[in-house]
Structure 1
Amino acid sequence: MKSRKNYSRQSNSSTGVSRKQFMKNIGGAMLTGSIMAGTGFSLNARAAAAASPKTDTTASSAVEVDRIAADPTAIPGPIRRNTPKTHEIELVSREVISEIEDGVQFHYLTFGGQVPGPFIRVRQGDTVILTHKSAPENVLLHNVDFHSVYGTGGGAEATFVTPGQSQTIKFKAMYPGAYIYHCAVPRMDYHISSGMYGMMLVEPEEGLPEVDHEFYFGQNEIYSQQLAGEKGMHEFNFEDMRKETPQYVLLNGEKQAITANRRGALKVKKGEKARIFFVNGGPNLSSSFHPIGNVWTKTWREGAIASNPERFVQTALVPPGSCGIFEMDFPVASTVHLVDHALSRVANKGMMGDIIVEGPEDPEIFDPNYSA
């Protein structure tokens, strides 16, 4: 049995850029590859061939999209089967322009036109036929490194594509857990910072316990030549990335994306349970992931779902390039703030999301109006 999934968000506008500019970008990537050959990140023969277009078509500049923040609820449902299957998945690299916050534009590099990239869900033992495609309007070289894959570069060397090209790999999901995938070209830090990361969940053969909600979040830093909040187009700042001093630290690609200030908070009901899938793209900063006004009832650090969970963890450290799986109970009506507890990232750099717990108050657990 096969399932087909296409992870591509359609764009709505574009403007032209010359083939000369396209070749300049490719040439820069090739040069960087040769410089980095000693580091183990050189371009392979397939990438070199991909960087030599066989047609005289022109590329287009990045298109504008209204929203870059991935919807935390838009993920495939839990797997309810006992046998392996084969999935045919298309993952599309898209270069887009969108807003970090109102009036602040940024040139994002994405999988599927969203940050984090599409949530991919399979079962241990499943076979995946994955096609990585580069949208024809792109100008840069892209590939994918899956931490869930046994094989050279996690598939990175086999998935290099230039605009309009595609490459297909086949692999078996051998080990369970939540794993990051990310672009792994020579300037991978720039590509990941700009949004090229996501999660693949490999469910264990026995599946996951039932919960009322599942939510998907990703954290990354943005390095800009402009100050945070300054209106207009923000240009990427490579020097600040080298120094690891970002202007923004974001949850789902936008400042306070999943709050009433931006795209709206998530809502649950008192007494329900939620599972949180969290991926830290980085590329540089670890996240001290914490739910203000709650606690992680169960925590699987590094996304290691085959391990026994820790219980009642207040703050979980998630390094860049890794994931976490968390469960939360909601015993009282409240608003839970999801933050990185390096709190300057909340106060000054935009890293926060909200879950509103609806229901009657329970003064036996929490009484905000208590008087003796």
Structure 2
Amino acid sequence: MLDTTRRRVLQGLGMGGTAAVAGCTAPSGESPATETVREGQASQPQRDQVERVAADPADVPDPVDYSSPRHHEVELTAREVTAEIEPGVTFDFMTFDGQIPGPMIRVRRGDTVSFTLESDEGNGMPHNVDFHAVYGTGGGAEATNVTPGESNGVDFTATYPGAFIYHCAVPNMDYHISSGMFGMILVEPEDGLPEVDREFYLGQHELYTDRPVGEEGHHKFDMAAMADEDPTYVLFNGAKYPFTPDRYGRMQAETGESVRVYLVVGGPNLSSNFHPIGNVWTSAHRDGALGTPEEYVQTMKVPPGSCMTGTMDTPVPETVKLVDHALSRVARKGLLAEVEVSGEPDEAVFDPDPGSE
């Protein structure tokens, strides 16, 4: 007889209703079922408590610097962990490699990838990966189904360029993505991307919890609130105001540098209205399409399940606030990250005190 955890996980791999759109189906001979999540994670094993899930936004792979296709071995580990959304407020996250968003994967068009997904033995649910950069059923989701302690994989060729989301696509995929299971795969064109001085990587998503914003204690997932698309929090990288002085510190740049920001929007439901306060996207690629960029874009609309890349110039010292310009998400639901630009002022560009000597 299967142990309780494995039985529940195998049941969770059954697909029914709208979840079938991901291309995952129940193993042959098994009847569809659903994960037990109505009461939060009460039926799941005790999760590891970790200090943070917020990925370091400066942890970006080096740009492609080669001119012929290469092969890459890529591994991700599905990990279910407990961490703070904000001080005193904990939540049970689902992650790739213990971070949100999952690690950026960076390859070149024409590269081949051998991908392996491992599932931590302490997990309580099934997981897989749907790559939007992959031709094939479910973007590889069906081929990468894993249960706790198991691994599975798929080989693919990165045949088209762009910045693409990857995400978990098992039953209740919206629950898994909301809880943190998404990231970006960047497929650079053959000639690469224009060189910049700094690159940062952010992931936006919503959390639907059973308590109000800021109420201390452990917040469980609220499936009804997700169905109503009424999130408690809207976050960068799984944390409230993560890259500010009161949390993990601002991102850093110097005047005169070019700064590229990669944004992946997991959602699962809300679009981002991505805006740099005090700056502009000098060039931007909508939906991660790396053709001719748009120029001087004030706010970039990024749908759930999509990406964008945007480059800023930094002529003067300032604090650039990266926000969703649906501003109640900033003021009340936790969405804010900052870039501190240091250096010498240029009063011809910006003079904050024109009456002084």
Provide TM-score, normalisation by structure 2. Answer: 0.92
Aligned to 1:367: 351
Specify the alignment match of 2:309 in structure 1.
Answer: 325
Q: Does 1:230 align with 2:212?
A: no
- Out of 357, 360, 371, the position equivalent to 2:341 is 357
Shift of 1:26: 4.1
Q: CA deviation at 1:48?
A: 5.7
Which residue pairs with 1:346 in the alignment?
330
Q: Distance in 2 between matches of 1:97 and 1:38?
A: 29
What do the CA deviations read for 1:11-58 (whole angstroms, capped 9, x no partner)? xxxxxxx9425533543x256x24557767652427969x9xxxxxxx
1:362 Cα deviation (Å)? 1.5
Structure 1 segment 143-292 matched on structure 2, within 5 A: 143-292=128-277
The 5-angstrom pairing of residues 109-128 of structure 1 reads 109-128=94-113
- Asked if 1:78 corresponds to 2:63, the answer is yes
Measure, in 1, the Cα distance between the counterparts of 2:29 and 2:346.
60
Please state whether the residue corresponding to 1:348 is helix, strand or coil.
helix
1:299 aligns with 2:284: yes
Task: Check the 8 A contact 1:96/1:113 in 2, yes or no.
Answer: yes
CA distances 1:255-304 after superposition (whole Å, capped 9, x unpaired): 00111121000110000001111100000000000000000000100101
- For the residues of structure 1 that align with 2:70 and 2:63, how far apart are their CA atoms? 15
Judge conservation of contact 2:19–2:172 (CA < 8 Å) in 1. Answer: no
Distance 1:189 1:276 in 2: 25
State whether structure 2 residue 11 is matched by structure 1 residue 20.
no
Q: Partner residue of 1:90? A: 75
Alignment of 1:36-47 (within 5 A): 36=18, 43-45=25-27
Is residue 46–residue 157 contact of structure 1 (8 Å, CA) maintained in 2? no
Say whether the 8 Å CA contact 1:41–1:185 is kept in structure 2. no
Asked whether the 8 Å contact 2:316–2:350 carries over to 1, the reply is: yes
Q: Contact 1:47/1:161 (CA < 8 Å) preserved in 2?
A: no
CA shift for structure 1 position 166? 0.7
1:56-75 maps to which residues of 2 (within 5 A)? 61-75=46-60
Amino acid across the alignment from 2:80:
E
CA separation in 2, counterparts of 1:367 and 1:330?
A: 15
Q: Look up the match of 2:39.
A: none
Give the match's secondary structure for 1:368.
Answer: coil
Q: Name which of structure 1's ranges 356-365 and 37-46 shifts more when overlaid on structure 2.
A: 37-46
SS in 1 for 2:307: strand
**Distance in 1 between the 2:70 and 2:350 partners?**
47
Name the Cα RMSD after superposition. Answer: 2.0
Going from structure 1 to structure 2, the CA distance change for 1:194 and 1:47 (only over 3 Å counts) comes to farther
Q: Give, in whole Å, the separation in 2 of the partners of 1:334 and 1:70.
A: 24
Task: Specify whether residues 78 and 47 from structure 1 end up closer, same or farther in structure 2 by C-alpha distance, changes over 3 A only.
Answer: farther
Please give the per-residue CA displacement for 1:227-261, whole angstroms capped at 9, x wherever unaligned: 11011110000000000000000011100011112
Unaligned stretches of 5+ residues in structure 2: 34-43
TM-score by length of 1: 0.89
1:151-203 deviation per Cα after TM superposition (whole angstroms, max 9, x unaligned): 11000010100001111110000000000000001100000000000000001
2: CA distance, partners of 1:42 / 1:169: 14
Give the % identical residues. 53
8 Å Cα contact 2:23-2:138 kept in structure 1: no
* AA of the residue aligned to 1:271: G
C-alpha deviation, 1:61, in angstroms? 2.8
Task: State the aligned residue count.
Answer: 344
One-letter amino acid of the structure 2 residue matched with residue 108 of structure 1: F
Do the aligned residues in 2 keep the contact of 1:76 with 1:119 (CA within 8 Å)? yes
Gaps of 5+ in 1: 1-17, 52-58
> What is the letter of the counterpart of residue 329 of structure 1?
D
Counterparts of 2:81 and 2:314, CA distance in 1:
37
Take 2:29 and 2:90, find their aligned partners in 1: how far apart are those partners?
A: 31
Q: CA deviation at 1:75?
A: 1.5
Whole-Å Cα distance in 2 between the matches of residues 177 and 289 of structure 1?
18
Is the CA contact 1:47–1:157 (under 8 Å) kept in the aligned structure 2?
Answer: no
- Matched letter for residue 347 of structure 1: A
* Counterpart residue number, 1:336: 320
